[in-house]
Structure 1
């Protein structure tokens, strides 16, 4: 079974759903997402740890331009594939719990989004990655504009901001990707190629790397989003329907972080070292800003939204520690954050349904004793979010901080403040929603078996990864080592040069 089946199955099922429409499309979408998850599991089972890139598809696409249809799985994207298919399956089940206008079209766009995400994760050609990365934007434009929350003007404003910010970033990345292939061919007098593995062997000059790095970084940081490139987030997150928002925040943001590990660090190692402190400052700003905004937000949806900014800051911090510990922690944290985000947004929906549609924290409260199962599930997810010792999130953050301590101690010290702040916003949201005085307008009914279809699988996976995080660390070890190998060589070289220079200065 090839990776092409994994990528294109969601789109194929979505097209059939559009044709059949009506009540068939939602059920068909669930079957398609579960089948895609099953295929992803089969790749995980057959994957041989330590054997490098596997299940490779490598066909000429546009041979005159050196563009190939190259796909593959290694330790860097294996867990992300599994996470993405799992969360899209949960989001599709989640979306089946309400009626949608034109359901065939709604699940069509959701299917395209899954195809684009999976394609970006397995693409091993730079132009192919850019194509899938840009395709991810289109479904959420329609999902937000047509089925989003708020008035038409609010939805239009949200989609305009989302498109403008992400489109500018995507155009910069396209220019940078084309320049990478062209300049590599010119500087090394070879045929033009966009295969990522080939580009790693054709290093660009320092000047070329620097400006190309900034273009890629802008595209990825906007998509995450990171402070201060997050201005589209408040309107976009408020307007987006919750099933779409769950995968947007839990999965799409990880494609951007993955792009740093897959493309930027191996292909532009000199620029990665040169701009290390700039990216660490952006990561630190995202952690502190996101945390402060999360515990001051009065809307429970925005608490989750701004907490995602903080968590993506931690992930960026781990990546630009430029060592194996930080990279492994970042990759594990990508998976951890995705696993808690979708059920958190589902709980936001459950709380709003019990508060007459309001997501304001002041309208919630006091339902824990009447809905103990909901309160227990919410508590488990909240504790995972704040990286309670014993959770996989704790392991991820520990590795990230360990990597940063080894690279830049000052950044690690300030980033550790974000760990304490996470406890503030996570527990504040839980306590205000579940305890305190019972709001007379709140319906404190218990979760239904249908609700548990989304919550129980997600929490089971969270607990399983908490009990055995080594599963993820073992699978990803070789991939992260290869990702940071070039930058580690550069930092080692810089350290040696600095030591030599200091010795020469001290010699009389």
Structure 2
């Protein structure tokens, strides 16, 4: 085993702790209570390790830190090689935060018949271990292997623990992502062949392949670019390769939806930054207009469909599609500010949308499992704390100044405008729609008269023909007490409190995240030979 820096044991532990946790929790699956406690303990230990890794990371040091490498297939130059840069580190920290919150949120959830909490939480820990590996892999072949294997636990989480159409959603999710990965494999093999020609020996080492492929002819770069891009665009998800996400989000359990939208999808945008820009700089510049069209289309399309959704979980999926359009816009606008904004958007989207999904899940749990917006109304009268947290999550989602998402969206827009003014102007339409769809959801669920079958069975909803608001109020008053709706309990408050603190804290003081990711953004700009239109003098750095 070789190491590439101090504290390599931290990264090894970050990979092994959730993997070990999955094994232990699987062994305890016959005892749900013990399995839940074990899963929570391992997830909290992983979060602590992520914080320690962040503290020991040196933003001004080498691009890749805390790394280690083991020979895997020497005849093909394949290694089990891991290290983190600033972007990978912040995403691993976000995973470490969300997994214990997901476990806490799903503590008392009912599972389909024959399924156990131990099996459910074991799959979540396995998914965490594989996702950490994807973000930290520095061998391109290893990255591909983990990119595909990470689909397996998510497939079972959706297909075994989801809603009525879970099998359809799980298969669709798997096929889209798996086929995208196969296309990427063709490009990985192409990069390996170029290394054989240039170096005399094949290698999958990311740093070496960047040097080899970086100077390839434009036509070659374009073909290789598309292989990676399609896989990442499916994962991101960019329009028109997004159609698996609404189905998967609608059928997945709430905790799984948090990981799917908040973490798994970020592998796509991470791939844009780690692989496309440094390895194929000429192709990235040549094809940037195409990607920007898809990004802006996603912003407008996702916003429009979110506004018209009647199912809360599908609403969350389309909101995320719009947000991923903003992230892609920032990446392919090629400025330091826009790239930094995209990276922080990845972090803040995970926090804000993860919080929104959890809160919506708490609403659905109180409504007997109904996801229809029309089945709710006036809920804030019964659950004022839940209503307040839903409003906070919604305001962060629409990037209200003072919340964490505002910093990211502002950097993306101000950084994108110099290079892509038309696309940036169109994307701002999404900001207007964000206010509409977030406030629409909040108003329909929490405000107005108490109504809806989910809260008061037999009471007409706002969309029932022949009723009006006053009639619904009278009926609701007559039916009061037919169903007990309680506000947030202690467990739910503990789950939501860290997210609320981050929404406000990073909104007022984003410096810790910005300081960590900025050197990696600078290095990416340099590797891709990008000239910063905003700060060309200050932000030119030597590639590492």
TM-score (norm 2): 0.87
C-alpha deviation, 1:39, in angstroms: 0.4
Structure 1 counterpart of 2:127: 113
Moved more, 471-480 or 62-71: 62-71
Are the equivalent residues in 2 in contact too, given 1:29–1:107 (CA < 8 A)? yes
Task: Deviation per CA, 1:465-498: give whole Å up to 9, x if none.
Answer: 1121121111111101111223344899xxxxxx
Task: Deviation per CA, 1:185-215: give whole Å up to 9, x if none.
Answer: 31x2432111111112112222221011111
Is 1:239 paired with 2:262? Answer: no
Q: What does residue range 83-482 of structure 1 map to in structure 2 within 5 Å?
A: 83-100=94-111, 101-150=115-164, 154-186=165-197, 188-202=198-212, 203=214, 204-439=216-451, 441=453, 442=455, 443-482=484-523
Task: Deviation per CA, 1:4-53: give whole Å up to 9, x if none.
Answer: 21012111111111112222212111111110000000011111221022
Are the equivalent residues in 1 in contact too, given 2:311–2:372 (CA < 8 A)? yes
Q: What does residue range 1-150 of structure 1 map to in structure 2 within 5 Å?
A: 1-21=9-29, 22-23=31-32, 24-52=34-62, 53-100=64-111, 101-150=115-164
Moved more, 126-135 or 100-109: 100-109
Are the equivalent residues in 1 in contact too, given 2:381–2:450 (CA < 8 A)? no
Is 1:487 paired with 2:524? Answer: no
| Partner-residue secondary structure (3-state), 2:380 | coil
Are the equivalent residues in 1 in contact too, given 2:299–2:325 (CA < 8 A)? yes
C-alpha deviation, 1:72, in angstroms: 1.2
C-alpha deviation, 1:235, in angstroms: 2.1
Moved more, 481-490 or 22-31: 481-490
Task: Deviation per CA, 1:434-459: give whole Å up to 9, x if none.
Answer: 10221154154211111112111111
Are the equivalent residues in 2 in contact too, given 1:322–1:488 (CA < 8 A)? no
Gaps of 5+ in 2: 1-8, 456-483, 534-544
CA distance in 1, matches of 2:219, 2:77: 24
Are the equivalent residues in 1 in contact too, given 2:247–2:314 (CA < 8 A)? no
Gaps of 5+ in 1: 493-508
Q: Which has the higher helix share?
A: 1
Task: Deviation per CA, 1:92-149: give whole Å up to 9, x if none.
Answer: 2222222432222222211111011100111111111111111211111111111111
Are the equivalent residues in 2 in contact too, given 1:343–1:454 (CA < 8 A)? no
Are the equivalent residues in 2 in contact too, given 1:321–1:408 (CA < 8 A)? yes
TM-score (norm 1): 0.93
C-alpha deviation, 1:227, in angstroms: 1.0
CA distance in 2, matches of 1:379, 1:99: 26
Instruction: Mark the CA change 1:307 to 1:446 in structure 2 (over 3 Å): closer, same or farther.
Output: same
Structure 2 counterpart of 1:497: none
C-alpha deviation, 1:348, in angstroms: 1.6
CA distance in 1, matches of 2:116, 2:249: 22
CA distance in 2, matches of 1:184, 1:419: 45
| Partner-residue secondary structure (3-state), 1:305 | helix
Aligned residues: 488
CA distance in 1, matches of 2:498, 2:524: 31
CA distance in 1, matches of 2:15, 2:317: 28
Are the equivalent residues in 2 in contact too, given 1:365–1:435 (CA < 8 A)? yes
| Partner-residue secondary structure (3-state), 2:87 | coil
CA distance in 2, matches of 1:20, 1:302: 34
| Partner-residue secondary structure (3-state), 1:359 | coil
Task: Deviation per CA, 1:258-285: give whole Å up to 9, x if none.
Answer: 1110111001111101110000001001
Are the equivalent residues in 2 in contact too, given 1:323–1:488 (CA < 8 A)? no
Moved more, 440-449 or 477-486: 440-449
Are the equivalent residues in 1 in contact too, given 2:335–2:532 (CA < 8 A)? no
Are the equivalent residues in 1 in contact too, given 2:401–2:507 (CA < 8 A)? no
Are the equivalent residues in 1 in contact too, given 2:364–2:370 (CA < 8 A)? yes
Moved more, 141-150 or 364-373: 364-373
Are the equivalent residues in 1 in contact too, given 2:336–2:532 (CA < 8 A)? no
Structure 2 counterpart of 1:502: none
Moved more, 379-388 or 66-75: 66-75
| Partner-residue secondary structure (3-state), 2:60 | coil
